[in-house]
Amino acid sequence: MSNASWWERAVKVLPGGVNSPVRAFKSVPGDPLFFKRANGCRFVDEDGKEYIDWCLSWGPMILGHADADVQEAAIEAMGEGASFGAPSRREVMLAEAFLARMPHFEQVRFVSSGTEAVMSALRLARGVTGRDVIVKFVGCYHGHTDSMLVEAGSGLATFGTPSSGGVPAGFTDSTAVLPLDDVPALEAFFAEHGDKVAAVIVEPFPANAGLLVQTPEFIQACRDLTTKHGALLIFDEVITGFRVGRSGAAPVLGVMPDMGTYGKIMGGGFPVGAYAASQEIMDQISPNGPVYQAGTLSGNPVAMAAGLATLNKTGAPGFYEDLERKGAKLQAGLEKAASDNGITATVVRQGSLIWTVFQDEAPRSFEAIDGSKMEIYGRLHRGLIERGVYLAPSGWEVGFVSAAHTDDDIDTTVAAVADTFKSWS
């Protein structure tokens, strides 16, 4: 069956035809593609067309699709049982491997998604501090837990305005939204409300509304103010964990959070999430402490096996250095393709995260993104689909470089981008 046939069937049985909204291609021209198989950095749709994939399942496939070692580990685990609902050796092994890479934490608990990790971390922060207010920033997405679905307004902060239907205002009354890249606003908020703040949660490299790389001063201010006022600092590293470096964002920034949330890469392509902190903080979680959290599939042995194989391979000498080289090569190629064709564009990159914005400088806040330029991204997306290159179906999303991408794949992609730009003149 073709892409079109599957889409016709999907819209009858799935809301919007999809199981996650951005997959519906509402931000780009055309209808969604349906994929039947993937290997390395390439996948094939139901029409039999092959694409170079720069979306990589929204980041988890840092080794590429269908990595042989990850598959072998998952198959071995599956042969022993898909789920126990009881302790197993693999969750201990992955926890040990995780903490070896994250020495700023002492304990970790596994869950089944990034959203669940954030939800649990926020509950824990409130339980530890005895306070209610959580501070987040405009443009930072922390999953679809009710208290994080808050939109920002003008001024220093907005309290309690849900940005999704079905979320009662009371669920967000204790969530404050501040602008990114604005130390004075952060200082002013803490001066007035600091004794009520349980935690500040931030993507250390915000990557869900473009790639909004922050100044070191801003991230350090988050650390200093939370420490001063007795609040916790949470790094949401569901995207950046094991993506921007061997140990995530903390060593890159030189700022150590109190807690971190993780997912994507550490599941090797299987559903997984985790949150981590010191033993003192984690001792507040049940069964040791009063903060309750549980999950039937938490520590699922197949996901643990795939995650462990992934961490082992990404821990090899030179792995991240090679990703950095590839990312720099892709960035330079995209910048040249735009410049040569008279296209105003800035290519923002942090490690193997990459984002093209059709503006003359890199924005550091959500408000600095010119949404009217997303139409250009939509045209680029369609042009690249025609040329066998797959990007995320939204200009607000970042791209990802994997170990499976070769220099030839980068060159082919850059040539396709240049050809698409050239076709517009």
Catalytic residue set: 141, 236, 264
CA distance 418 to 316: 34
d(CA 37, CA 52): 13
Handedness of CA 404, 406, 410, 415 (dihedral sign): negative
264 conformational bin, left if phi > 0, alpha if psi -120 to 50, beta if neither: left
3-state secondary structure of 213: coil
CA distance 283 to 291: 9
Written as six digits, the tokens of 188 are 């002013």
- The residue count of the chain comes to 425
Residue 210 backbone phi and psi in degrees, to 5: 80, -170
Residue 274 belongs to what H/E stretch?
Answer: strand 273-277
One-letter amino acid for residue 181 of the chain: D
Contact 307, 266 (CB under 8 A): yes
Half-sphere exposure of 343 (CA within 13 A, CB side): 27
